[in-house]
Chains A and B, each alone.
Chain A
Amino acid sequence: MTERHRRRVAVRAGKHVLLTAVALVMLYPLLWMVVSSLRPDEQIFTQAGLLLTDVDLSNYEDGWDALGQPFSRYVLNSLLVAVGCIVGNLVSCSMAAYAFARLEFRRRRLFFAIMLMTIMLPIHVIIVPQYIVFSQLELTNTFVPLVLPKLLATDAFFVFLMVQFIRGLPRELDEAARIDGAGHARIYLRIILPLMTPALATTAIFTFIWTWNDFFSQLIYLTDPSVYTVPVALRSFVDSASSSSWGAMFAMSVVSLLPVFVVFLFGQRYLVRGIATTGIK
């Protein structure tokens, strides 16, 4: 081995050591929370290590019933909201995207520019009147205020993502179908939608994660414990808990992170592609 070769190997090894160290520092708190949730309460404040001597599930049993309703209720509520938002985004955003990508209409550029600008609009300038209207219609403490906006394509980010994707599909396919006498409804349903499943998958996955984690609007609209979603329930747990129930709180935190983790494991390809393409192209 030459001197130069040896040095190159050393540099490469050094980089791996650095990258691994960063990964460990980043993931350690997560691993520690999972391990701690399986330990008796008092050890959470004394054990910084990851070694688990025996598995203790009592935190999960305690946490599951610590609030007014069993935790499964909150999980179910969160799932209902997430499914509603996913369906809403898939239908409404893909329709708008088809129009922007394939149809010629007046003021298209203006509308498109407006749509892009709404991506950057802070929710705060609309939440106050929205809340007033929904509370006058007695729709707070229902999932309507959370799901209805998604049925109306207000997540412009996904419209943009789908427009980008449709632009990449060959127009010859549309033209061929048009010659065969297909209208726009048919082209959208039979040609564009089946071809854009990767973009639909990315949208579904991101919508799931963002809805599952969303706290601000759920906190505002859901004040009755029976309609609490997971984040709102966890928050009320923090408020009501004494310092002795950290174990139970950790256990329910792990439960609440689990679905996102599973989606991350199986949907990573779509997630990475989603941010990479909307970030660059």
Chain B
Amino acid sequence: MSALGELARLRRQPAPHGPATARSKADERASWVFLAPWITGLLVITIVPMAASLWLSFTEYNLLQAPSWIGLDNYQRLFQDPRMHNALWVTSRYVAISVPLQLLLSLGLAVLLNQGMRGLALYRSAYYLPSLLGGSVAIAVLWRQMFGHDGLVNQVLGFGSIEGRSWISDPSTALGTIMTLNVWTFGAPMIIFLAGLRQIPNMYYEAASVDGASRFRQFRSVTLPLLTPIIFFNLVLQVIGAFQAFTDAFVISGGDGGPSDSTMFYSLYLYLQGFRNFDMGYAAAMAWLLLALVAAFTAINFAVSKYWVFYDD
């Protein structure tokens, strides 16, 4: 199962050992050629910049003067910066609310579609299209209009210009509009669920119905347990993605995370610190905290998965 499953399997299986054969010597030489672009990229685009950003996170650097070492000051600042705490709080709420909603919706519709519905391909296309368009500036532009003062949502709800409020300029609802955009893109996880549902052998359902299990009972005792690896995969993937959300908040708030920092996502704050204020050291420290958070979340997810993810094989 998936890149995550592959990683887990690599950890479980011991490495095979054996003497080098003539074949593997030729392979060894060829592998350097075939892997040359990837290894170069790993070094030049990933590892060296990672090391550099770790070093920068201990410095003060504004692109104009040479970086100066300030030790842990940036990290200390992270813990004292109220806007940074707010950004974490906004991002956490976004992850904690929109990801479960998106997964529930995609799972529910996948189960419904999998009951041999006619027109499956048509429904699937209709639901999938928003996930392809969702990350774009154009859709964020649309959302900005829809949830604005005279926008589509207020028109449909029949609010006049007096009682109608602008959803994006009210700090209590602005984040919600961005969450709806994320939920709107449930099509991609739904397709992964659909593919997973198709792999469940029919004999399990036959056996269950011989035993007199109701449809609901079949769902709870057959479908759900066999689907847990895919629920887990989707959960990890969507959480990692949602932690890094940027475009929608940037465009809908007009680039400043407003109103009153209510849509100030972590990525957005990092962008403003690094590429508007050119406070590169602080931005690098923020990036490493983000990596630590994402890694910790993924590790917790993996640890907890032992208790609820069921592997058939």
Contact = CB atoms under 8 A, between A and B. Distances in A.
Nearest to B61: A132
Nearest to B28: A105
Contacts of A106: 28
B274 interface: yes
B66 to A, nearest CB: 12
A45 B150 contact: yes
A204 interface: no
Contacts of A220: 271, 275
Interface in A262-281: 264, 268, 271-272, 275-281
A226 B194 CA distance: 44
B23 interface: yes
Interface stretch (A19-27, A53-61, A65-73, A79-87): A19-27
Interface stretch (B82-90, B168-176, B282-290, B305-313): B282-290
Interface string B15-30: 1000000011011101
Nearest to B255: A239
A249 interface: yes
Interface string B236-256: 000010011011001100110
B127 interface: yes
Given A122-B287, A215-B246, A275-B191, A109 B15 contact: yes
A27 B126 contact: yes
Given A95-B34, A96-B38, A280-B1, A130 B49 contact: yes
Given A15-B115, A128-B56, A280-B1, A120 B155 contact: no
B141 A249 contact: yes
Interface string A113-147: 11111111111111111111101000000000000
A183 B33 CA distance: 13
Interface in B210-253: 230, 233-234, 240, 243-244, 246-247, 250-251
For the residues of A in contact with B, the DSSP-based class is helix
Contact of B41 (A154, A213, A277): A154
Given A123-B244, A154-B46, A231-B137, A103 B6 contact: no
Contact of A260 (B34, B132, B247, B267): B132
Nearest to B24: A104
Contacts of B199: 280
Contacts of B113: 19
Contact of B155 (A46, A135, A154, A230): A46
B142 A253 contact: yes
A135 B66 CA distance: 15
B241 to A, nearest CB: 10
B259 interface: no
A153 interface: yes
9 contacts: A19-B112, A32-B152, A45-B151, A103-B27, A103-B28, A135-B63, A213-B135, A216-B267, A231-B138
Smallest CB-CB A-B distances: 7 pairs: A152-B41, A276-B195, A279-B192, A253-B138, A129-B52, A99-B34, A105-B31
Given A16-B118, A44-B145, A124-B290, 5 more contacts: A19-B109, A99-B34, A129-B53, A238-B144, A275-B192
